[in-house]
Amino acid sequence: MDALLSTFLSVFLAEMGDRTQILAAALALRYHKNGAILAGLALATLCNSALSAAGGSVIDQWISEAPVKLFAGLAYIFAGAGMLMWRRTVDPLTNWKLPAFLTAFLGLFILEFGDKSQFIIAAQSARTPYWGMALIGGFTGIMAATIPAVLLRERLAQIVPLKPIRWISGGLLLLWGFMLATQAFGIS
């Protein structure tokens, strides 16, 4: 249960104000088909979360506990730093001539591939024998952060103060990462 909750919370924080939210909202504005956008988002997120969790479970079998903690610490440090740094603008995929579902699935799959949440899910999977819980936690964390962006679209930024949330979330992820990294070296 720890893997599920900690992965959910950290991925949810990492996705607030992230490019996944922005692209999902832009696609919802463009197509006006929430169901198709949400289905594409769900499939893309499930695929990426499954790849991450499977990769993390393999890492767990190859290396000992200290390097796994260091990997987890670095995943959180880079996620936190990424939230605090300047970000590139998101391509709204206006040149893509595919139906809503395919555009959402392919666009969000590509955008999420190698993203900070994928590394957090992999790190959490490597830290526990219950990698399926990390998969579920990561999937639900991304979905919980992104569904409101699809449903609320541009109003999300008016309702939720995304910039302060990004700063607080980034700081929390950095702190969590430094704690894990110091544990890897036996400092704390």
For position 65, what pLDDT does the model report? Answer: 85
Nearest one of 128, 1, 108 to 49, comparing CA atoms: 108
For 25-74, write each residue's pLDDT tens digit.
Answer: 999 999 999 999 999 999 999 999 999 999 999 987 788 888 899 999 99
The three-state secondary structure class of 114 is coil
For position 59, what pLDDT does the model report? Answer: 85
pLDDT at 181 over 80: yes
For position 92, what pLDDT does the model report? Answer: 85
| Calpha distance 123→73 (Å, rounded) | 8
Report the predicted TM-score, pTM, of the whole model to 2 decimal places: 0.92
pLDDT above 90 covers what percent of the chain?
Answer: 70
| Calpha distance 115→100 (Å, rounded) | 22
- Asked if residues 180 and 73 have their Cβ atoms less than 8 Å apart, the reply is yes
Give the domain ranges of the chain: 2-184
